[in-house]
Amino acid sequence: MTGRFILGLVLCLLLPAVALAADSSDGKRNSQQPIQIKSNHLTTDRVRLTAVFTGNVVAQQGDLVIYCDRMVIYYDNENKEVEKVETFVNVRIIQGNRRGFGGHGIYYNKEGKIVLDINPKVYQDEDEVSGKVITYYVDTKQSEVTSDQDTRVNAIIHPKNKGNNKNAHP
């Protein structure tokens, strides 16, 4: 149960968050919804194949909203598709009752891998998971929360109240 919850929480929160691509009901990685990114400044570099958004960055796709201080989109040299998306400082990810926070996040498009680090935490309702690094593998729908000697994995899972019967006995 705990493993399934953590996987579900990371799936629902991190998959669309850093990837800027919500997981659709048919299991495909990229959403067809448009992505709107607002920031104080945008710099593009055709030589380095990057787009850098800085200052109060807000990226929205459907009901998913990502806030950060800086977002860098890297394109590959061959077909000019997104290679990776990296978010920096004050990273907040909101989608319905799911929220994610961290100091840094990165989505590797080819590998289908999302990594959230620098004090990462993900929440769904009152439940919470944190650790040193939270990694989600998009294609296999698997997640991993790792620790180190200073930061242990921590999961707080609240029981779901089924039935609300106050007169029930344990």
Domain total for the chain?
A: 1
pLDDT class of 164 with cuts at 50, 70, 90: low
C-alpha distances in Å from residue 109, one per residue of 10, 56, 117, 126: 17, 24, 18, 30
| Residues of the chain above pLDDT 90, percent | 39
pLDDT of residue 163: 54
Asked, for residue 96, whether it belongs to a domain, the answer is: yes
Asked, for residue 115, whether it belongs to a domain, the answer is: yes
Distance CA 8, CA 166 (A): 29
Asked, for residue 167, whether it belongs to a domain, the answer is: no
Which structural domain, as residue segments, surrounds residue 53?
Answer: 2-22+34-156
pTM of the model: 0.74
Q: Residue 40 belongs to a domain with what CATH number?
A: 2.60.450.10
